[in-house]
Amino acid sequence: MLFFILFLILYTIIFITDLMPLYRKKQSKAFGVCVVIMVLGFIIQSCLVFNVHIPSIASVFLNLYHYFFK
């Protein structure tokens, strides 16, 4: 839980320092892309902190490779 709180504080600091200037300058495309990337990163980081199993996409590509080329 401590790591989750630390990452929450760090993401808040990054949001304030990096994304607020984009929002104030009305750069909506850059702001939107950054928000999506930060939210995905936060979700993945939260899953790792709470030991949630995230399936590897490499196994999907490996299965497709074996299906088509063997």
What was the pLDDT predicted at 38?
93
Confidence label for 67 from pLDDT (cuts 50, 70 and 90) = very high
Instruction: For 30-55, write each residue's pLDDT tens digit.
Output: 999 999 999 999 999 999 899 998 88
Query: Is the full-model pTM beyond 0.75?
Result: no
3-state DSSP helix/strand/coil % of the chain, to nearest 5 = 85, 0, 15
Confidence label for 66 from pLDDT (cuts 50, 70 and 90) = very high
What was the pLDDT predicted at 25?
92
- 16 within 8 A of 23, measured Cβ to Cβ: no
Q: For residue 59, is pLDDT > 90?
A: no
